[in-house]
Amino acid sequence: MSQEASRLFERSFSSLEEFADFISEKLQAPVTIEDSNHRLLAYSTHEEHTDSARVSTIIGRRVPEQVINKLWREGIIPSLHKQNTSVKIPEIAEIGLGSRMAVAIKKKQEILGYIWVLEGERALREDDAAVLEVASEKAATQLQQVQTRNKEEERGRQEYFWRLLTGDVQKEEDIERQMREWFPVSPRTAAVIVLEAEEPISESMYKKITYLVTTSQKVKCYFQTRVQQLIVMLAEPVYPPDREGIRWFLEDFIVLLKERFQIEQMEAGTGRLYSSLANIKNSYEEAMEVIHVNKKLPAERKPFVFYHELGFYRYTEALIEQKNKQNMLHPELEALKQYDFRHNTELFQSLAVFLRHDGNMKKASESLHIHVNTMAYRIKRVEEIIKKDLKDAYEKLSLLLEISLDEMNK
């Protein structure tokens, strides 16, 4: 790193915008400065040369999600995280990204943000890289100050979010008043999303999860907090602006969590979308119920995402309580279990899988990895033992409910 480059930044700057303009002037190229979650902090002005990725970043005040995803897949962001030097980035036309030079802004290896320089008519050289690396050191102090202010504000938001989650604040007008202090626009509809890890969530994991949430453009996250193994957030679906926006976000989230950070186990549940923020407590309880049900489901059953998808599982607690009061076992199912025990067969399991596949013999046999004829024989034998017609919809529903209640009561 040259002494000449170091001397350039001995002066002070009144703002990040002035700092960006100064770098732009020295490198004769457009500059953008982002925080660690790719939200725009400052950009240089009065340049003629630009590209669509930079324009979209400035208009949206954050880097487009497809650009971030591509930079991860190409190994560019991981390279910025690993090394303390500038990285040269070739043009990626499919996302509207012109050739660039970038550097991560770090403090003791913690990522505080990024500086991006768009290559114009003049190709960026090695001495430009040295200037950019000194600029990143200078920017670290300023971004630490920004980060400190953001953390203080975030603590206030988290405390208020817990008040909403516990129902301590319920008046719509009070909530709206507080929301206006923090956000230009309140959500039209929003739902509580709960994520549960197998172990307590560390600060490092929390930052990674926050990164994925913040950089997604499928939802807008208004509040987020964590406690032990849980992360709780209030999110508005954006693309598309309905439940599917949340579903798409969670599908991407689980994949990216594994691809980028090697985190594989994470349960997710979402409460109903409400237009009134006074219903946040309800949405939170519903999201927790989804997770509770998912943890009880058999391994072959696809987990639920939304509370409304639970169907009769929404009523299982009351049904289990009633069943336990009666202390009554289902005679036909008990007879089937006893038959399995005495003859070392798997008829009860076969019946359960058959019912979960709505009586579809082919799908049930595939699930159990047996021949369809074997499955048909087993179901015929089940009908003989329990003396029920499994073509009767009501009989099937009754048996499925009994089996599901037993699973939830374990």
With CA atoms as reference, report the closest residue to 56 among 32, 75, 86, 36: 32
166-316: same fold as 3-143?
A: no
- The pLDDT of residue 146: 83
Q: Could you report the per-residue pLDDT of 257-306, keeping only the tens digit for each?
A: 999 999 888 999 999 999 999 999 999 999 999 999 999 888 778 899 99
The proportion of the chain whose per-residue pLDDT surpasses 70, expressed as a percent, equals 99
For the chain, domain boundaries:
3-143, 166-316, 329-408
pLDDT value at 2 more than 70: no
38: left (phi over 0), alpha (psi -120 to 50) or beta: left
- Over residues 157-204, the pLDDT tens digits come to 999 999 999 999 989 999 999 999 999 899 999 999 999 999 999 999
Looking at the chain, the number of H-run helices and the number of E-run strands are 16, 9
Mean pLDDT value across residues 371-377: 96
Query: Is 50 in contact with 118 (CB distance < 8 Å)?
Result: yes
Q: Is the pLDDT of residue 1 over 70?
A: no
Higher pLDDT, 53 or 330: 53
Q: Are strands 100-107 and 219-227 parallel, antiparallel or unpaired?
A: unpaired
Q: At 400, list the tokens.
A: 């499925």
Residue 73 to residues 54, 174, 232: CA-CA distances in angstroms? 19, 44, 28
Q: What does CATH list as the number for 3-143?
A: 3.30.450.40
Residue 122 has pLDDT above 90, yes or no: no
For the chain, percent of residues with pLDDT exceeding 90: 78
pTM, entire model: 0.86
For the domain bounded by 166-316, which CATH number is listed?
3.30.70
Q: What is the mean pLDDT of residues 131-153?
A: 89
Following DSSP, what letter does each residue of 255-296 receive, concatenated?
Answer: HHHHHHH----EEEEE---BSSGGGHHHHHHHHHHHHHHHHH
What is the third-level CATH fold of 329-408? Arc Repressor Mutant, subunit A (1.10.10)
- How would you write 317-368 as a 3-class SS string? HHHHHHHHHHCCCCHHHHHHHHHHHHHCCCHHHHHHHHHHCCCCHHHHHHHH
